[in-house]
Amino acid sequence: MRQKEISLNIRPLKPNDQEDIGDDHVGSSADTPLRADAFELDDEEKIVRIEKHFREIMHILGLDLTDDSLNGTPRRVAKMYVKEVFSGLNPLNRPHARLFENKYNYDQMLVEKDITFYSHCEHHFVPIYGKAHVAYFSSGKVIGLSKINRIVQYFAKRPQVQERLTVQIGKEIQRVLHTEDVGVVLDANHMCVASRGVGDTNSKTGTAYFSGKFTDENIKREFLNYINSINSK
Ligand SMILES: [Zn+2]
């Protein structure tokens, strides 16, 4: 079985050397740091402005933007940022989870495993991708399984650090399901580690969020054994 590095420490930022901190991938808060005026511009205005600035970045890099292959790139990147990969910044895109009565009186752990997610490291703006495993005990209500998937995708579609993404998913599942009993494990690859910096292509990072019954060692083990029995196939 593969060893997981469970890192739960969300340490405060030290005031000096932001660049080193970025390379260590230390997050500063469980909330995404957004400004109060984050959504004063509408999506179309954001796309126009990002396009302009991305064109400038490409120009400074020396690229010939009159080339057919490059000409549409600034607009394409701007749309992708606003409408796709960072669409989870906008609270309007937060999934509405309809609750259902737990008619079957199912009172065991429910696990939704191997949810593939794609996110972006907020320190380098390159992909973080991997699998999320979410488990909970119903407090009398359940949600459609695809909603758990949507919640994972919503928080993944932000500039992120893996620890924060894990906590945000856990807290949202708690909020939506009115239950304290939530476990979340993320197993992810960081392109900023694999393709640059130390250039380690094999390391993975594991993070976990356990609350309520999941702080019990037996419950935690049951959940982790279930995930690992799938992953070690
Ligand atoms: Zn990074």
Q: How confident is the model at residue 2 (pLDDT cuts 50, 70, 90)?
A: very low
Q: How confident is the model at residue 5 (pLDDT cuts 50, 70, 90)?
A: very low
Q: What is the mean pLDDT of residues 182-203?
A: 86
Ligand 1 centroid – CA 126 distance (Å): 7
146-174 pLDDT tens trace: 999 999 999 999 999 999 999 999 999 99
pTM summary value: 0.86
**Catalytic residue list contains 120:** no
Catalytic residue among 25, 124, 133, 160: 124
Consult the annotation and say whether 124 binds a ligand: yes
Q: How confident is the model at residue 14 (pLDDT cuts 50, 70, 90)?
A: very low
Handedness of CA 225, 137, 135, 112 (dihedral sign): positive
Query: Same CATH topology for 24-92 and 98-231?
Result: no
Which range, of 37-51, 145-159, 197-211, averages the lowest pLDDT? 197-211
Q: In the chain, what are the domain boundaries?
A: 24-92, 98-231
The CATH topology of domain 24-92 is: GTP Cyclohydrolase I; Chain A, domain 1 (1.10.286)
Residue 195 has pLDDT above 50, yes or no: yes
Task: Bin 109: left if φ > 0, else alpha if -120 < ψ < 50, else beta.
Answer: beta
Helix axes of 145-156 and 162-177: crossing angle, nearest 10 degrees? 140
Ligand 1 centroid – CA 121 distance (Å): 5
**Catalytic residue list contains 121:** yes
Residue entry with tokens 């796709």: 84
**Catalytic residue list contains 192:** yes
Q: What is the mean pLDDT of residues 175-186?
A: 96
Ligand 1 centroid – CA 34 distance (Å): 19
Q: How confident is the model at residue 18 (pLDDT cuts 50, 70, 90)?
A: low
Catalytic residue among 153, 163, 172, 192: 192
Query: In the chain, what is the greatest distance between 2 CA atoms, to the nearest angstrom?
Result: 64
Q: Compute the distance between CA of residue 207 and CA of residue 119 in angstroms, rounded to an integer.
A: 15
**Catalytic residue list contains 123:** yes
User: What per-residue confidence (pLDDT) applies to 102?
Assistant: 81
- What are the C-alpha distances in Å from 95 to residues 66, 129, 130? 40, 20, 21
Ligand 1 centroid – CA 41 distance (Å): 27
Catalytic residue among 120, 123, 172, 174: 123
User: What per-residue confidence (pLDDT) applies to 10?
Assistant: 39
Consult the annotation and say whether 121 binds a ligand: yes
Average pLDDT, the chain: 87
51-106 pLDDT tens trace: 999 999 999 999 999 999 999 999 999 999 999 999 999 999 999 988 888 877 78
Q: In sequence order, what are the beta bridge partners of 188?
A: 130, 205
Q: What is the CATH number of domain 98-231?
A: 3.30.1130.10
Q: Compute the distance between CA of residue 137 and CA of residue 220 in angstroms, rounded to an integer.
A: 12
User: What per-residue confidence (pLDDT) applies to 8?
Assistant: 41
Residue 188 has pLDDT above 90, yes or no: yes
